[in-house]
Copies of this chain bind each other. A is one copy, B any other.
Amino acid sequence: MYDGVIQDLIDELGQLPGVGPKSAQRIAFHLLDADPADVRRLAQVLVEVKDKVHFCAVCGNVTVDVECRICSDPRRDATVLCVVEESKDVVAIERTREFRGRYHVLGGAISPIAGVGPDQLRIRELLGRLQDGTVTEVIIATDPNLEGEATATYLIRMLSTLGLRVSKLASGLPVGGDLEYADELTLGRAFEGRTAIAG
């Protein structure tokens, strides 16, 4: 519908996740009106991000250095390892300020439908990190969905032979939510994992 490069831009933007044709058009016109320096900076950052960003050699988190900020921070507890699916999960957990250990990013979850098995994940690297005995505790923090649970089950079985403390994040009612609106599975999990208060 639009002249050459304008339509190209709308098409390219429409490829991004969560950006439909209408949003793509809206963003394209915003960019057409925007300061050329701002648009050039966005283009620049896009190129840079692909040139500079790679995975941390130790934990698999995204980083611009050889090792990520957390792996290269000597103040982080090297005896506790939190295993997550993606780099996004590291950021989510960091925001809680509850965890002072280190991470291991699997790069996904086991999903037979998507053709992702244990070999496609950074599980070999995880076992490698557990060799020298520094790590004494592993916290499994995969997503609370089918793939995440399958991955957790696989990891728990594998780690149980190594004599480590292994735990998994609690499932239950989200804080600030209404019990009434919780789905049955979540409510069921909240019952299963109920916390003893007295008696």
Instruction: Point out residues on A near B: beta carbons under 8 Å.
Output: 1-6, 8-9, 12-13, 15-19, 23, 25-32, 36, 38-50, 52-53, 62-65, 68-69, 86-88, 91, 94-95
Contact = CB atoms under 8 A, between A and B. Distances in A.
A9 B46 contact: yes
A139 B3 CA distance: 24
A11 to B, nearest CB: 9
A47 B36 CA distance: 8
A46 B2 CA distance: 15
A46 B49 contact: no
Contacts of A52: 4-5
Contacts of A49: 5-6, 8-9, 28, 31-32, 39
Contacts of A3: 53, 62-65, 68-69
A27 B19 contact: yes
Per DSSP, are chain A's interface residues mostly helix, strand or loop, or mixed? helix
Given A1-B91, A69-B3, A27 B32 contact: no
B53 A6 contact: yes
A13 B17 CA distance: 12
Contacts of A63: 3
A84 to B, nearest CB: 13
Nearest to A16: B27
Contacts of A15: 38
B27 A17 contact: yes
10 contacts: A3-B64, A9-B45, A9-B46, A16-B30, A17-B26, A25-B91, A31-B50, A40-B47, A43-B43, A43-B44
Contacts of A44: 43
B9 A32 contact: no
A88 B25 contact: yes
A198 B36 CA distance: 58
